[in-house]
A and B are shown apart, each in its own frame.
Chain A
């Protein structure tokens, strides 16, 4: 997949979503993303992350506001296969009688004729996508016979095969080990460099500064939006999570030569965010070393 995605942008403007039961899950949410970015979507349970995804994918119609993709409404964007979606693991029926290969080919359905017979191009792209997530050897497995990380990679391969310009990942790191997490992040970075827009919802706060360029913090509306360095701060996190965040202040630092020994551990329910003295982010160096050492994700 050597093609560079043409620049298309995503604009979410004043989106208000109400469910049938009258619950307003999201109101006046606005942000916009330009091509070539990885953006994290963080917020407490029930803050409307999945709802925002649904609005971008056109599954719920906003009562107010618009979502535009390269200026088009979402329906038109779907017809062009611009939006790819990697579902939450809990949303997939893993006993379904389809193989890894079948699933990846589903990414090509939008390009096939109405009988959905894959052509040479479809098969080639599906194969390349499998190679890219290093799942070629599992091609003929039934999808339930895979580990958590492998399952994630299959659906990532489907999104690659679809050649979507905007890739939405709902909690891609749940049930995934550190190594696979690293491999997925590396892949997302490559896609970003190809000009894709990657929107990731996650509870894994620790990895956000590591690979996300931008952050959207939500709690029933967009509380803060901007580059990670300036937006993903302790104050904003406190705003977004309130009491839902475990907050530990330790007299310790992992960074040698730091002038003050203070460490704040912020955690939602997964990977913790570790903030050193003066708001300095203590990144996990371990991952890079780890990747140099091991080759297989």
Chain B
């Protein structure tokens, strides 16, 4: 019985739980926009592409977050440039750019002696995280969260109807780069929790869950945040007993919630669809 409460006796566990919850919340807010804007692959791409930036920052002694942020922007920028200057489609270009940058990062990593374990970067290490890294993640996540909440309606209109946004005098180029920057910053924070490989899950699953459950944006935000924070807490807690794999536990919890939402969602879930089909067997949806 006391085993159940054991994790809460340790300061590092409490801290890990809090940081995981914060990072979960930030990723959740962002994921709502990514899902609606169709930027899931962009999240995947940037999260891998930050590796060379991290290694480079380590070499020159700059904050890792800064390096990650810059190489994230390089990834987005070069994808855009190649797309407009060649006949290859955007998702294809992105696939090439991010795997290329990721590979570059791995090569660079193998050439430098670091005290950072590659595993920690690839898979996260919330339970063994350095104090300075934790502070960095917290600050980055908080800034990203504030920016997104302040501009949430502008970002929503940007995702929904860019043309209208322009006609009412909004600067859509600015919003585009803002969203990219927030994405890079959030990824930097998320890396601490779940690592490069699984960050993309944090960036799309909560938004997806919420999109299945609600068709109002504000409710979607709320549901995404709740499910992400819940997953972060449960995942971190469970990982204590597994002695690690925190990121995987968080992502796994999210995936389970997604399956639940998929089946049980009130309007767009599988059961709801079946119920509706049974309730009105002869209804034909005429246009």
Interface residues of A (CB under 8 A from B): 20, 57-59, 78-81, 83-85, 87, 91-93, 95-99, 102, 106-107, 109-110, 114-116, 142, 144, 147-148, 158, 162, 164
Contact = CB atoms under 8 A, between A and B. Distances in A.
A87 B163 contact: yes
Contact of A97 (B84, B161, B216, B287): B216
Given A96-B36, A97-B214, A99-B216, A78 B169 contact: yes
Given A109-B153, A116-B153, A78 B216 contact: no
Q: Is the interface of B mostly helix, strand, loop or mixed?
A: helix
A58 B287 contact: no
Contacts of B214: 97
A181 to B, nearest CB: 16
A116 B175 CA distance: 15
B117 to A, nearest CB: 41
B164 A106 contact: yes
Nearest to A110: B168
Contacts of B73: none
Given A79-B169, A81-B169, A57 B287 contact: no
B211 A97 contact: yes
Nearest to A95: B215
Given A106-B160, A109-B154, 15 more contacts: A20-B84, A57-B163, A59-B163, A78-B168, A81-B168, A85-B163, A87-B163, A91-B163, A97-B211, A98-B160, A98-B216, A109-B165, A110-B170, A116-B154, A147-B287
Nearest to A142: B215
Contacts of A57: 163, 166-167
Contacts of B170: 109-110
Nearest to B220: A97
B169 A59 contact: no
B36 A109 contact: no
B284 interface: no
A93 B156 CA distance: 13
10 contacts: A20-B84, A81-B169, A87-B163, A97-B214, A98-B217, A106-B168, A109-B168, A144-B215, A158-B164, A162-B167
Contact of A58 (B84, B151, B160, B166): B166
A90 to B, nearest CB: 13
A58 B169 CA distance: 11
Contacts of A97: 36, 211, 214-217, 220
Contacts of B156: 98
B116 interface: no
Interface string B117-160: 00000000000000000000000000000000011011011011
A57 B216 CA distance: 29
B266 to A, nearest CB: 13
A109 B161 CA distance: 13
Most buried by B among A79, A97, A158, A162: A97
B166 A59 contact: yes
Contact of A93 (B84, B150, B153, B160): B160
A106 B157 contact: yes
A85 B154 CA distance: 18
Most buried by A among B150, B154, B166: B166
B187 to A, nearest CB: 24
A18 B151 CA distance: 34
B162 to A, nearest CB: 9
Interface in B213-249: 214-217, 220
A78 B164 CA distance: 10
A33 to B, nearest CB: 17
Most buried by A among B157, B168, B217, B287: B168
B284 to A, nearest CB: 15
Most buried by A among B151, B157, B211, B287: B157
Given A20-B84, A92-B161, A115 B150 contact: yes
B154 A162 contact: no
B169 to A, nearest CB: 4
Interface in B30-84: 36, 84
